[in-house]
Structure 1
Amino acid sequence: MRIPPPGNMARIHLFEFEDQQAFPSFLRNYMTDFLQFLSNKTRLFHPILPLLAEAIRQSGSRQLIDLASGGGGGLLGLLDELRQKFPELRVLQTDYYPNRDAAAYLQQTRPDVDYLDVPVDARQVPTHLKGLRTLFLALHHFRPADARAILQNAIDARSGIAIFEGQEHSLPSLLAMFFSPVSVLLTTPFIRPFRLGRLVFTYLIPLVPLCVWWDGIVSSLRTYSVDEMRALIHSLDRHDTFSWHIGRIKSGPAAVLYLIGTAQESATQIQLI
């Protein structure tokens, strides 16, 4: 029996708690706060810095429109180094379910980052939000039709887009997610903003670690492989008017999958590989 290489197994779209409209917003916020904290403390996305910097340069924009930002997302840990290259860089974070506690905390700790406190649908970004669009740990939440809508909307708006996933559909990734409750238990006291409820629903009523465990495993099952991302691109109208860069890069024991597209008139040609 041939075992597929990492990330090449067909995705399975099971449900995640975080996606459910009826899911309590405070629990969703605790979960996205954890993801933001862990991805930045472990520097998960640090290896993609050159890719993102090149996408910013090629896009011709000095504003990032971060979609599905949750509690701040993986972008926050990259900003200081990005601003060394682009001092004028501006950042606007958005989400379909805005994490208003995280937004308020960012206003105090990162005044250089704005967080829009009204829902923004990544499939239909308002036309006045202009800049290079980014998604961290988010594409897997969308079924193929919705993922295509995100990409098609970027093409239609002539807006560059850079997508990064920190898990993949592979046995090592699934094993890491299986033990994710341990990370929740170890890191929760250090996550900011401090919330007493976060401690209650982590240690006394362990809903946060249980939901992170389930959603983490499902996230790996849902993640688009490099080949599946290529297929998404080839299914889009006018996809050839953009330059696309799709791949997988190591990040410590894990890997980051990426999909980057920029309009050709503002970019040197990147081959779809």
Structure 2
Amino acid sequence: MKRKQLFEFEDQRWFPAFLRNYLSDFLQFISNQFDIYKKVTPLLAELVAKSENKTIIDLASGGGGGLFKLSKRLREEDPELKIVLTDYYPNLKAFEYIRKQDQTFTFERESVDARKVPAHLKGVRTQFLSLHHFTEEDAVQILQNAVDSQSPIALFESQERNVPSVLAMLFSPINVLLMTPFIKPFSVGRIFFTYILPLVPLFVMLDGILSALRTYTIPEMDELISRVNGHENFEWKVGRQKSGPAGILYLIGAPKP
């Protein structure tokens, strides 16, 4: 199945911010409720351990990414760990809620572009379920910016470009309907646009299908790395980690000693 650089509704500037936030809230809830990134904890813990700066800069965090559940295990390895949430379209209500639940987290209020991370944000860079949003050129820029700033980087995708991933998204509206009452912070608007005017289930399904069709394969990730100037100065790991019925694709890079 050839990769297609299709657009997702939530990426568009015209897409209502409140709907974008409802979608990212749902993805954050699923990621942490089912702990889907549990199996990659050792990979991320190793990267943080090798870094002088015990801070994770999470890019394209959406509603908080997959780090809320992971953070507890990571802090067992390093109690001083700090995590900064960022996004091009910051979901501030979600960020503030996570901050109240866990003081490990802080966040950036201003928009942060993963292709050009501000110099003051120093640490291990992560992205969860977001690399597929970027074109090949933009994905190379993300890696290039990490190499140029000597910043370790770990990118994780919880889906693959295959038929099972697409089929799974066809049934995602059922999950939205079942789980929306448990998503916090509670929102009357989320209830309305899930059960009365069901735009949230619709766009979760549509963007989910489009996401699967945009996801990079392992060979394609290797190709992205090869296009980065100075990539030979980093140590790279690209692979797939089994996680429940699915797998987590990962691309990890760190400066050579």
- TM range, smaller chain: over 0.9
Counterpart of 1:121 (choices 110, 113, 127) is: 113
Instruction: Name the residue aligned to 2:203.
Output: 211
Instruction: Name the residue aligned to 1:21.
Output: 13
How far apart are residue 75 of structure 1 and its match?
Answer: 1.2
CA RMSD of aligned residues (A): 0.8
**Which 4+ residue blocks in structure 1 deviate beyond 2 angstroms?**
58-61
Counterpart residue identity of residue 70, structure 2:
L
Instruction: Name the residue aligned to 2:146.
Output: 154
Distance (whole Å) between structure 1 residues aligned to residue 36 and residue 96 of structure 2? 24
1:240-262 per-residue CA deviation (whole Å, 9 max, x = no partner) reads 00000000011101110000000
Instruction: Name the residue aligned to 1:92.
Output: 84
Partner SS state of residue 127, structure 2: strand
Distance (whole Å) between structure 1 residues aligned to residue 25 and residue 186 of structure 2? 10
Report if aligned partners of 1:244, 1:259 keep a CA contact under 8 Å in 2: yes
Q: Which deviates more from structure 2 when the two are superposed, residues 59-68 or residues 234-243?
A: 59-68
Counterpart of 2:124 (choices 105, 129, 132) is: 132
Distance (whole Å) between structure 1 residues aligned to residue 24 and residue 78 of structure 2? 27
Distance (whole Å) between structure 1 residues aligned to residue 186 and residue 218 of structure 2? 38
Report if aligned partners of 2:128, 2:155 keep a CA contact under 8 Å in 1: yes
Q: State yes or no: 1:165 paired with 2:139.
A: no
Instruction: Name the residue aligned to 2:227.
Output: 235
Instruction: Name the residue aligned to 2:34.
Output: 42
Report if aligned partners of 2:86, 2:111 keep a CA contact under 8 Å in 1: yes
1:115-139 per-residue CA deviation (whole Å, 9 max, x = no partner) reads 1111000000001110000000110
TM-score (norm 2): 0.98
Partner SS state of residue 128, structure 1: coil
Counterpart of 1:69 (choices 47, 61, 67) is: 61
Report if aligned partners of 1:59, 1:160 keep a CA contact under 8 Å in 2: yes
Instruction: Name the residue aligned to 1:247.
Output: 239
Q: State yes or no: 1:182 paired with 2:174.
A: yes
1:132-182 per-residue CA deviation (whole Å, 9 max, x = no partner) reads 000001100000000000000000000000000001101111111111111
Distance (whole Å) between structure 2 residues aligned to residue 104 and residue 241 of structure 1? 37
Partner SS state of residue 194, structure 1: coil
Counterpart residue identity of residue 165, structure 2:
S
1:79-109 per-residue CA deviation (whole Å, 9 max, x = no partner) reads 0010000111011110000001112212322
Report if aligned partners of 2:28, 2:65 keep a CA contact under 8 Å in 1: yes
Report if aligned partners of 1:103, 1:117 keep a CA contact under 8 Å in 2: no
Distance (whole Å) between structure 1 residues aligned to residue 124 and residue 167 of structure 2? 33
Report if aligned partners of 1:59, 1:263 keep a CA contact under 8 Å in 2: no
Partner SS state of residue 235, structure 2: strand
Counterpart residue identity of residue 205, structure 1:
L
Distance (whole Å) between structure 2 residues aligned to residue 169 and residue 154 of structure 1? 25
Report if aligned partners of 2:81, 2:104 keep a CA contact under 8 Å in 1: no
Q: What is the percentage of aligned positions where both structures have the same residue? A: 55
Distance (whole Å) between structure 2 residues aligned to residue 103 and residue 35 of structure 1? 14
Distance (whole Å) between structure 2 residues aligned to residue 10 and residue 65 of structure 1? 31
Report if aligned partners of 1:139, 1:163 keep a CA contact under 8 Å in 2: yes
How far apart are residue 55 of structure 1 and its match?
Answer: 1.1
Distance (whole Å) between structure 2 residues aligned to residue 43 and residue 31 of structure 1? 18
Counterpart residue identity of residue 77, structure 2:
K
Distance (whole Å) between structure 2 residues aligned to residue 20 and residue 258 of structure 1? 26
Partner SS state of residue 262, structure 1: strand
How many pairs does the alignment contain?
257
Report if aligned partners of 1:154, 1:161 keep a CA contact under 8 Å in 2: yes
Counterpart of 1:197 (choices 184, 189, 192) is: 189
